[in-house]
A = this chain, B = another copy of it.
Amino acid sequence: MQRSSVTMKDLAAALGVSVMTVSRAFKADSSMNEATRKKVLQAARDLGYVFDSTAANLRTQSTNFVAVIIPSINNANFADTVGALSDRLAEAGMQVLLGNSGYNIADEEVLIEQLLRRKPDAIVVTGGRHSDYGRKLLAGAGIPVIETWDLPADPIQYVVGFSNAATMHALVDHFVAKGKTRIAFVGGDSNADTRGADRRKGFIAAMKQHGLDTARLINAGQAPLGMQAGARAMAELLETMPDTQAVIGVADPIAFGALSECQRRGLQVPRDISIAGFGAYEISAVSHPTLTTIDPQPRRIGRETAELILRLRSADADNAPEPKITQIDWSICAAQSS
């Protein structure tokens, strides 16, 4: 029950071949006698040999790891992105090394440092805002760096994302087209969730563009915001500005919390008040009534990121200009009658 001490050396000795032959047997693309390979693989199974990638990692200077930092694992949007990224990378034999920053730039910096020690072949971060030192670490890591879920003004290297602000323009336009003018936005503290902050900025800009009052901003607290926070925020909104006609939640859980609070108070949605969110969480389509939302295609972000990494990996060092920015399309999913 000791840590498996069977090495290639042991296999080689057992079979009377050199260690190199054993090594080759495990590399699918190396040319060798198929009969010998079979013998090696059989012996490996018999002796309970487990390939030791720590040794291979050191020698080959590549780990087949991709480091991924997300603000929270408990967020269906990020989980979708990581899932899609991970699935695609797994097909190429690569694995994801995940870190949660907890919506915190200082924690992200620590994570970046820790993850880089593991010598990943690429690093994927969420958003375009980082600590100065974090940014420096990323830029100097010597591996592909991909910022996602955002369109940073000053990208480090590669970007796979979209404009969070633009999505809010679309929602405001949607509500204005329906004749709503008193529209509120429920979001979190802006310094934590920068994508949320961008959405709030987009909301304000869109409202101004329509000549509408931008005073209906509710701060629901610190990210991560859940349904409960949405419900509380809605309660506050209904107390202070009961004539509000529409509410945009920074994400669907907040929007659903708001919806549930309306229901508890006997308000009819969308007759009395309209509600929209962000993220196309499953609940937006299942709740009764359904929620208007933005579908940012989280799985698409993950898959495109994976494809980019795989292309960069197979590219020669020099001929890898690539489009640096991959924009992901998003779409508005209107509730049946919001």
Contacts and interface: CB of A to CB of B under 8 A. Distances in A.
A55 interface: yes
Interface residues of A, number: 60
B54 A286 contact: no
A282 B228 contact: yes
A287 interface: yes
A286 B141 contact: no
Q: How many copies does the complex hold?
A: 2
Contacts of A87: 100
A128 interface: no
A231 B50 contact: no
A141 B52 CA distance: 12
Contact of A118 (B53, B115, B282): B53
A319 to B, nearest CB: 15
Contacts of A58: 54-55, 57-58
A1 B260 contact: no
Nearest to A114: B95
A260 B83 CA distance: 27
B83 A73 contact: yes
Contacts of A142: 1-4
Interface in A183-212: none
A285 B230 CA distance: 13
A255 B185 CA distance: 30
Interface in A322-338: none
B286 A116 contact: no
Interface string A207-240: 0000000000000000000111011000000000
28 contacts: A4-B140, A4-B141, A48-B140, A50-B116, A52-B117, A53-B117, A53-B118, A53-B119, A54-B58, A54-B118, A55-B58, A58-B58, A73-B73, A73-B79, A73-B82, A74-B76, A74-B83, A86-B98, A95-B115, A96-B98, A97-B97, A98-B98, A228-B282, A228-B285, A228-B286, A253-B282, A256-B286, A260-B286
Which 9 A/B pairs are nearest by Cβ-Cβ distance? Answer: A227-B286, A3-B142, A263-B288, A54-B57, A74-B79, A53-B117, A260-B288, A51-B117, A54-B58
